[in-house]
Amino acid sequence: MRIITIIILHTAVTLMSDSATPLSNSSEAQGLTTPMRMEPRVVLDSHKLLQGENEVLIQHGSEVYRLRHTRNGKLILTK
């Protein structure tokens, strides 16, 4: 089994209303239930990530996660 370190950088997004007031501070934000989605900048192929194994360990900061490829073709990430 291999341990892979993945560094993911993400950008915080502030939602703005038409009046340039952040929605998180206004009454309009109460009806907002779906977060904005940003397009991913990097796409990793699961076959390259798993490198022929059924599972790999991923170190994220001080935590280690297990990424497992199931018999049904699904990926499961657990802490």
How does pLDDT run across 5-37, given as a tens digit for each residue? 665 554 444 444 444 445 555 545 555 566 667
CA-closest candidate to residue 65, choices 54, 53, 52, 56: 56
Whose tokens are 């001080």? That residue is 62
In terms of DSSP bridges, do strands 55-60 and 3-5 run parallel, antiparallel, or are they unpaired? parallel
pLDDT at 63: 94
Question: What's the pTM value of the predicted model, to 2 decimals?
Answer: 0.50
Residues 6 or more apart in contact with residue 54 via CB below 8 angstroms: 68, 69
Residues 29-78: tens digit of each pLDDT? 555 566 667 776 888 899 998 999 999 999 999 999 999 999 999 999 99
φ and ψ at 16, to 5 degrees? -120, 140
Q: Count of CB atoms within 10 A of residue 65's CB?
A: 14
Question: What fold characterizes domain 3-78?
Answer: Complement Module; domain 1 (2.10.70)
